[in-house]
Amino acid sequence: MKTCSSMFVLVSLGVLPALAGAVDTSTWTCETCPFDKAGTTGTVEAGVGSVSDDSARFGDYQGLQKKGAFALLGGSMRYRSDDGRYASVNAADLGLDVRSLSAVYGREGVYTLKLGYAEIPRSGFDGARTPFLGVGGASLTLPAGYPAPTTTAMPLAATLQPVDVESKRSRLDIGAAWNVAPEWTTRLSVRHDVRDGLQRMAGSFFSSSSHLLAPVDQVTDQLEASASYVTSRLQASVAYQASLFRNGPDALTWANPFTPVVAGSTSGQLALAPDNQFHQLRASGAYELTPQIRASGDIAVGRMTQDSAFLAATLNTGLAVGALPAQSLNGQADTFNASARVTATLNPQWRLNASYARDVRDNQTASLAFPAVSTDMFVGAVPRTSQPFSFTQDRYKFNAEFRGPFGIRASAGLDEDDRERTLQEVVTTRETTLWARGGMVVNENVTLTLKGAHGDRRSSTYGIASWVVPTENPLLRKFNLAARNRDSVGVRTDTTVGESVSVGLYADVARDDYDQSTIGLLSGRSVAVGGDVSAAVNDDTQLHLFAQTERIRSRQAGSQLFAQPDWWADTHDRVEVLGVGLKHNALKGKLELAADVVFSRARSSVVVDTTALEPPFPSARTSMNSLRLQATYKLQENLTVLGSWWYESVSSQDWRLDGVAPDTVANLLTLGDTAPRYRVNVLRVGVRYRY
Amino acid sequence: MKTRSAILALLAFVVLAWSGGAVAQAASAPAAAASAPAKAKKFNPNMPYSEKGADTCLGCHDDEADSLTFNTAGVFKTRHAHRGDARGPFGPGNLQCEACHGPAGRHAADGKEVETINSLKANSKLPVEKRNEPCLGCHQGNARTAWHAGAHDRERLACTDCHRLHVERDAVLTKASEPEVCLRCHNKQRADFQKASSHPVRHGRMGCSDCHSAHGSASASALNKPTVNQTCYSCHADKRGPLLWEHAPVAEDCTLCHTSHGSVRAALLTKSPPLLCQQCHSVAGHPAVARTGAALPGGAGGGQIFLLAGSCTNCHSQVHGSNHPAGAKLMR
């Protein structure tokens, strides 16, 4: 067992040099200490809640998508023994699809056992409808009346069925830690993650397409085992991690609702995520070379594999398709991650830091040539060859920190990010960033921090990926490969007024300039200004306020004629967020009140300039208002009444979705879902009993 | 190569500079103490301990001294006050309150002379290194292996800037309440989580520590895993592959198309298609065509399938890659 008495701690730190042994605690009986008595205590919460309206969007992540009543059920349990054993159980939202449960049992300093379960529901689409039958399965069929040449000719009025596009993630976590010896600890954790439900996909036949609902039936099992060794100067650990992903169906087959343009293209098949595995060995360590120099490092070697059987290249038996080059991918991508860091404190004022990191994804999968089948309709003459991408990233950092009088602190550094890629237009990029930060205590209550950075990314020759047909416009510069200048500045000031009020104000500006790009992303800019205030109004009342306004702009260019740029697009996002929180204790602590209000406004504008007179896009807008009021009233020492009201409204306009019904676009059968709009009230009333 | 050489030279400089610094160090006060404000010098670990330990402390720090945010007796609900733990402050023969707050003999005698103990409070005049000493003496685990090179250390954060010791459940150790602690400083992320599309942090279903290691890590942004993608695959293993037809930016870095904290666009996208896709795709034909308001419902232009609903993903729905033999264009 790790013996680490307080005395030992302070002595080891030099805090109690000669005096430590002289402290006689034999008379420190702690008679007035309100220790928890050995035994079990806990709480039980029960009550009822009500949701005023249906809204898939509101219910996303919350399990509150359906109108109606729900049960409030939760609680906690604590157990303590006199010999160091302990246990706790916490349960929340057991009456909803966001239920969670966690439990811990252990003996202080010896072992810990953990158990956890949680559900996270997703429900993001309001108003979704589909004519497909068999939703939830691996094969979607159509009722009578299909196929038809266009959506307007389809019998949608009679065949569209509302559908809840929902999924849920359920997680079971089991963990254990055992302090084998004073310096040794071993840990084991296992996670079983199940995700099921529906997800939106789309399948096309040449120029017509349908939005589809694919089944989600995924299981991910993760295991991590580690052993660590710790002394006052050395920390080291080794770990093994495995992640096994399994998917139920390997494909979604759907009937083509559009009249086939090519004979035989009556159904298609989409590949669903294939089973895959990831295994990784990791080691990490840190060592205090001297009290002034500390070094640490990590190394991890991993392998991703995937070998699910290939689907057929087409379901169209009328197409003459050559044989596949293999029955499965036998895919393998090796990962290597390593880093080293050293920090040296030269003197009370100066500290130097240096680090290096390398991340490699080495895709060992064979490059194979496949018949060029396009949407179950055509077969190209030239096979298509797969491109297993590999990446190597090296990061170097060096910086110096200075701490001076009057609270002055400054740091400056040089970062370099080198990347090497395979099978892309650019082989290498190198980004060098110079940065500096400075701060000072303006007076006893005010601190000021400034920061700035300039980054310059240059690449090797930007070529043409001729192995991909058709090729991109030679003037295109993909933004992650292109030359770029990146500048950012920021300022923050924090002010405290006594011990009760703190005010923080900040502004951040960033600018990207792709100075050698003609087509593609040309520039980006963001500005964020905000602040927060925390105030203890009095001993019983706390206030918190935050606000931010943000502008994000970008400009890009394209060429419709596969030549010089002939159109430009400007995107401009404006976001305002304001939040206020209040907590208040009344009636001598018997009544606790809390209120949280958040207002969020977002507007996104897109202007596309083709030099011709084209209709503009309306702005996309989202407005969210949220108010939560909570109250707890202590009826008795062990009985508390709980109540809350949550109101949230969202109003949004999005031209991508608004007015796009399943039959709006002749060659696109959509789900007809709409931009989020809701106004929902949630009431909760319950009691908490403490035992 | 120039940069590598420069860094090697700088590393050599570090070692050389340290050897000089170490001499200076030996002759001077400890680094942190020397830069501490004058008031902090009142704290002296060689001062006497209190007469009765915690009983002395609780004589003054009773219910009357509590506030809305601080409850002295709350520490007795925590693991730190487990008498059965021989390592803990309240274990047999240990120093109780003074194990963390330091010798309190003078504090007990002088009453309000707060600076004579380690209050561990955010407004403490003690240098951070001194505030942290009692914590780090016991908590030596691997979680802080990379602390010395992380942003939180650079900002000189104290353990108690994030952790609360006198509450039954430390907010930063509970998923639902953890973000409130982090977002006190990370204000921009607080606003991001209020955007229309975000990870479920404001819903209490995810904590910052699901992706980030607050005590530092080997990766950029103190991620739990070595890279962004490995971090994302922790929950999104279906995107991991390797797949037959890969989409290069997907395999390289999820954040090339997605923002991690919040976006005004669905699926945490940095930009909506088709413009998102047209930043990197400009082949002759439909990918290069400018889509304007003419393609809106009721408009005179065509090409609505390229603009509305899922835009490019109306057909190229397998943007994360495909394992279908005919999925080269990410349409199967």
Give the nearest partner residue to B325 out of A311, A342, A473, using CB atoms. Answer: A311
CA count, 13 A, side-chain hemisphere, B130: 30
Q: Are B45 and A20 in contact (CB under 8 A)?
A: no
Asked if the model's pLDDT at residue B271 lies above 70, the reply is yes
Model confidence band, residue B183 (pLDDT cutoffs 50, 70, 90):
very high
Within 10 angstroms of residue A470's Cβ, the number of other Cβ atoms is: 10
Q: Are A247 and A272 in contact (CB under 8 A)?
A: yes
Structure tokens at B289: 């065509």
Whether A332 and B242 lie within 8 Å, measured CB to CB: yes
Give the Cα separation of B118 and A229 in Å (integer): 30
In this prediction, residue B154 has a pLDDT band, given cuts at 50, 70 and 90, of: confident
The answer to whether the Cβ–Cβ distance between B218 and A284 falls below 8 Å is yes
Q: What is the dihedral of CA A610, A613, A615, A620, to 10 degrees?
A: 50
Interacting residues of B288 by C-beta distance below 8 A, sequence separation 6+: A473, A558, A559, A560, A562, B278, B281, B282
Choose among A167, A376, A259: nearest CA to A669: A259
Backbone torsions φ then ψ of B170, nearest 5 degrees: -65, 120
Which region among A5-9, A450-454, B204-208, B230-234 has the lowest average model confidence (pLDDT)? A5-9
Are A167 and A195 within 8 A, CB to CB? yes
Report which of A275, A278, A221, A277 is spatially closest to residue A248, judged by C-alpha positions: A275
CB atoms within 10 A of CB A564: 11
Question: Angle CA(A550)–CA(A554)–CA(A559) in degrees, nearest 5?
Answer: 165
pLDDT at A199: 97
Element (H, E) at A341: strand A331-345
Contact A346 B18 (CB under 8 A): yes
Structure tokens at A168: 């849920």
What is the biggest distance separating any 2 CA atoms in chain A, rounded to whole angstroms?
95
Chain A interface disruption, residue of B11, B175, B243, B306, most A CBs within 10 A: B243
Average pLDDT over residues A110-118: 97
- What pLDDT, on a 0 to 100 scale, did the predictor assign at position B124? 83
Residue bearing tokens 């400054």: A410
Cα atoms in the 13 Å half-sphere on the side-chain side of A277: 11
Are A48 and A685 in contact, with CB atoms under 8 Å apart? yes
Residue B58's closest CA among B96, B17, B87? B96
A561 burial (CB, 10 Å; 0-12 / 13-18 / 19+) is: exposed
The long-range contacts involving B206-210, CB below 8 angstroms and separated by at least 24 positions, are B206/B175, B207/B175, B207/B176, B207/B178, B207/B179, B208/B178, B208/B179, B208/B182, B209/B175, B209/B178, B210/B175, B210/B234, B210/B235
> What type of residue is A350?
W
pLDDT in tens, B295-312: 999 888 889 999 999 999
Q: Please state, in angstroms and rounded to a whole number, the distance separating the CA atoms of residues B97 and B57.
A: 8
Lowest mean pLDDT among A69-73, A105-109, B224-228: A105-109
Mutate to test the interface with B, among A150, A244, A296 (most CBs of B within 10 A): A296
Residue range A639-682, pLDDT digits in tens? 999 999 999 999 999 999 999 999 999 999 999 999 999 999 99
Which residues lie closer than 8 Å to A148 by C-beta, 6 or more apart? A154, A155, A257, A258, A259
SS3 of A547-602: the string is EEEEEEEEEEEECCCCCCCCEEEEEEEEEEEEEEEEEEEECCCCEEEEEEEEEEEE
Residue A500's pLDDT band, with cuts at 50, 70 and 90, is confident
* pLDDT at position B114: 62
Between the CA of residue B1 and those of A430, B4, B8, what are the distances in Å? 11, 5, 11
Characterize A164-174 residue by residue with b for buried, 16 or more Cβ atoms within 10 angstroms of its Cβ, and e for exposed.
bbbbbbbbebe
Q: What is the DSSP string of A187-206?
A: EEEEEEEEEEEEEEEEEEET
Give the pLDDT confidence score for residue B113 in this predicted structure. 62
For residues A217 and A198, give the distance between their C-alpha atoms in angstroms, rounded to a whole number: 9
CB nearest to A271's CB, from B21, B310, B323: B323
Query: Between β-strands A668-669 and A208-230, what pairing exists: parallel, antiparallel or unpaired?
Result: parallel
Please answer yes or no on whether B310 and A211 come within 8 Å at the CB atom. Answer: yes
- Between positions 394 and 423 of A, the ones with CB within 8 A of B are 395-396, 398, 401, 403, 405, 409, 411, 414, 416, 421, 423
- Across chain A, mean pLDDT equals 94
How many helices and strands, by DSSP H and E, does chain B display? 13, 2
Instruction: Strands of A54-99 (E only): list them.
Output: 68-80, 85-92
- List the one residue out of A588, A497, A492 whose CA is nearest residue A543: A497
B189-210 confidence digits (pLDDT tens): 999 999 999 999 999 999 999 9
Q: Does A238 touch chain B (CB under 8 A)?
A: no
Instruction: Using the predicted structure, report yes or no on whether residue A16 has a pLDDT greater than 50.
Output: no
User: Can you read off the two tokens belonging to residue A508?
Assistant: 């951040």
Mean pLDDT score, A25-43: 91
C-alpha–C-alpha distance, residues A525 and A514, integer Å: 12
Name the nearest CA neighbour of A650 among A682, A683, A625: A625
* Residue A453: pLDDT over 70: yes
- Shortest CA gap B216–chain A (Å): 11
**Contacts of A459 by beta carbon, 8 Å cutoff, 6+ apart:** A426, A428, A429, A430, A481, A482, A483
B108 CA to chain A: closest CA distance, Å? Answer: 15
Name the region of A346 (left: φ>0; alpha: ψ -120 to 50; beta: rest). alpha
Name the 3-class secondary structure at A357: strand
Q: Is the pLDDT confidence value at A110 over 80?
A: yes
Asked if residue A358 has pLDDT above 90, the reply is yes
Task: Locate A513 and state its tokens.
Answer: 């300039």
Say if CB A190 and CB A223 are below 8 A apart: yes
Q: Per DSSP, what are the bridge partners of residue A104?
A: A88, A114
Q: Please answer whether residues A430 and A457 qualify as being in contact, where contact means their C-beta atoms are separated by less than 8 angstroms.
A: yes
Q: pLDDT band for position B44 (50/70/90)?
A: low
Q: Which amino acid is present at A188?
A: L
Which chain A residues touch B14 with a CB distance below 8 Å? 293, 342, 344, 346, 352, 354
Per CB-CB distance under 8 Å, the chain A contacts of B35 are 348-349, 403, 405
* Distance separating alpha carbons of residues A569 and A122, to the nearest angstrom: 33
pLDDT digits (tens, 9 = 90+) for A613-628: 899 999 999 999 999 9
Spell out which residues of chain A touch residue B253, defining contact as CB-CB under 8 Å. Answer: 480
Query: Cβ separation of A345 and B21 shorter than 8 Å?
Result: yes
End-to-end CA distance of chain B: 44
What is the spatial distance between Cα B70 and Cα B57, in angstroms, rounded to a whole number? 15
Q: Under a CB-based contact definition with an 8 Å cutoff, are residues B263 and B195 in contact? A: yes
B148:A294 CB<8 A: yes
Determine, for residues A387 and B296 on separate chains, whether the beta-carbon distance falls below 8 Å: no
* Subunit contact A473:B283, Cβ cutoff 8 A: yes
Residue B110's pLDDT is 78
- Measured between beta carbons, which residues in chain A are less than 8 angstroms from residue B29? 348
Measure in Å the smallest separation between the Cα of B64 and chain A Cα atoms.
11
| pLDDT tier, B121 (very low <50, low <70, confident <90, very high otherwise) | confident
Q: Could you report the per-residue pLDDT of A131-150, keeping only the tens digit for each?
A: 999 999 999 999 999 999 99
B148 chain-A contacts, CB cut-off 8 A: 286, 294, 296, 341, 343
Instruction: Reply yes or no on whether the pLDDT at B40 is more than 90.
Output: no
- The residues, ordered by sequence, that sit 6+ positions from A549 with a Cβ below 8 Å of its Cβ are A528, A529, A530, A574, A575, A576
Whether chain B has a CB inside 8 Å of the CB on A232: the answer is yes
Q: What residue in A sits closest to B137 (Cα-Cα)?
A: A9
Please answer whether residues B236 and B315 qualify as being in contact, where contact means their C-beta atoms are separated by less than 8 angstroms: no
Task: Rounding to the nearest 10 degrees, give the CA dihedral for residues B112, B117, B119, B125.
Answer: 90
Return the closest-CA partner of residue A557 out of A545, A546, A566.
Answer: A566
Report chain A residues whose CB lies below 8 A from the CB of B96: 25, 28, 30, 33
The whole model's pTM is what? 0.91
Spell out the alpha helix ranges (H) of chain B: 2-27, 31-34, 54-60, 97-101, 105-110, 128-138, 151-154, 159-162, 178-182, 187-192, 228-233, 248-252, 275-278
Q: Is the pLDDT of residue A15 over 50?
A: no
Q: How many residues does chain A have?
A: 691
Residue B167 has pLDDT above 50, yes or no: yes
What is the dihedral sign for C-alpha A208, A210, A215, A216?
positive
The residues, any chain, with a CB within 8 Å of residue B174's CB and separated by 6 or more, are: none
Query: Is residue B129 very low, low, confident or very high in pLDDT (cuts 50, 70, 90)?
Result: confident
